[in-house]
Amino acid sequence: MKLPDLKTARVRNQQIVKYYEADILRNENLFKGKKYFLKTYGCQMNVHDSELIKNLVEGLGFIEVDKMEGSDLVILNTCAIRENAHDKVFGFLGRCKHEKEINKNMIVCLCGCMAQEPSVCEEILSKHKYIDLVFGTHNIHELPNMLLNKMSKTDIEVESKEGDVIEGLSYTRDSKIEAWVNIMYGCDKFCTYCIVPYTRGKQRSRKSSYILDEVLKLKNDGYKEVTLLGQNVNAYGKDIEDELSFSELLRKVSQTGIERIRFVTSHPWDFEDSLIEVIAECDNIMPYIHLPLQSGSSRILKLMGRRYTKEEYIALFNKIKSRIPSASLTTDIIVGFPGETEEDFLETLEVVNACKYDSAFTFIFSPRVGTPAEKLPDDVPLKVKEERLHRLNEVINKYSLEANERYIGKTVKVLINGISEKGNNKVCGYTETMKLVNVEGSKDLIGQIVDVEITEAKSFSLNGVAK
Ligand code: SF4
């Protein structure tokens, strides 16, 4: 392969570094026709990071394929939040190892949060030598350089500065209707069970001017919905002097005129009254709020480092509901945190019964290496954790179904975003309150916001007919 000339050396930390300019790499189409396979684990942040990875590797000439076997480049964008995410990744890596014995030139990359866990890196370096590239969430934009480094065996240093917020990146977005927009990276909350502050680093907000430009461009490109993304979006701006607060940012995003605005994820501690007001006042900010509870016991919340009590959480929930009665609220709950007694768990059920969530993501606690909670005795037996999870899910599912049944006979606005998995002549999309609806109607409706009459409710979805 003929490589472009290296850009002249520049100095960083007193070191001479050599690099290829991203634009030159794009124009050279160096890997034209080569095949890449990308697998994404975890949250929306990872899904959106994968949209950036796609844009970078397709810019080099790679073409996406849906099978790892036979591809030239395999990228696993990983998640570190849950133990089973680790297991899945290492399971898939086993297949990659086998494939690489046949296809020796295949490049295997591991990136994302797992790649930023020191213990995982050590394991990879010692036991998984067939993995060619390991990089974290801070230096995805350096992927073209890293690939060239690997392919050419040239010693090019890549930059990785956690404090940077890189602007001007392009994404190959999965949808032409709904788009993710990062508004911040990292998190400063340091909940004791969570690996994110260690893998994604301290909170770094993007400047609001860049966010607003991106939303405006998406609107002009025909996008109907944006979701503002961050680990703790309502702390937006607190790390930059003279920056907008999250509620001020939301209002400005609303003024762009884009039809639908969502945001994830909120922390109850940062949920200010001004945020409730802006959601209530702006019609294009969707009345859907994900408000992680994690535990209903104030004692366990303290051990988790969550900075609110059971009573404060319920008061916030009620304040939101009374100002925005149409809002749907969902949550995250962990069962079996170290030291959780039956009484603590019953307090969690008490909060669920008080809040009657529209739905919830529920998890069994498993310690993440390097977090403070890892050092606490994991003393709730697995059987007890499983039994609590089962009891919790039964209550959550009951309220989900009740919430969905209230939609029967109503006409709601649904943004149709694709063909339904429920069979022919059906499309699907989401209500303003984030309910999945399977709609009888033709695929010409995709991309439109349509009035749908709800005819049937299930625990996890609704059925309806386009009017
Ligand atoms: S606020 Fe969320 S991302 Fe931040 S440390 Fe807590 S659980 Fe993790």
Give the pLDDT of residue 175: 92
Q: pLDDT tens per residue, the chain (467 residues)?
A: 454 444 443 333 334 444 445 555 555 666 788 999 999 988 888 899 999 899 888 888 899 999 999 999 999 998 876 666 777 888 888 899 899 888 888 989 888 888 777 777 777 777 888 888 887 787 787 788 778 777 665 444 444 455 567 777 788 898 999 999 999 998 999 999 998 888 888 899 999 999 999 999 999 999 999 999 999 999 999 999 999 999 999 999 999 999 999 999 999 999 999 999 999 999 999 999 999 999 999 999 999 999 999 999 999 999 999 999 999 999 999 999 999 999 999 999 999 999 999 999 999 999 888 899 999 999 999 999 999 999 999 999 999 999 999 999 999 999 999 999 887 789 999 999 999 999 998 889 999 999 999 999 998 999 999 98
Give the pLDDT of residue 19: 46
Q: What is 411-466's CATH superfamily?
A: Nucleic acid-binding proteins (2.40.50.140)
Q: Which residue's CA is the nearest one to ligand 1's atom 6? A: 191
Q: Which residue's CA is the nearest one to ligand 1's atom 8? A: 194
Show me where the domains of the chain are located.
Answer: 7-152, 178-405, 411-466
| Pairing assessment for the beta strands 288-290 and 260-264 based on DSSP bridges | unpaired
Pick the CATH number of 178-405 from 3.80.30.20, 3.40.50.970, 3.20.20.80, 3.40.50.720: 3.80.30.20
Residues in contact with ligand 1 by the CB-under-6-Å rule are 187, 189-191, 194, 196-197, 231-232, 267
Asked if 7-152 and 178-405 have one fold, the answer is no
Nearest atom (ligand 1) to Cα of 197 = 5
Q: Does domain 7-152 have CATH number 3.40.50.280?
A: yes
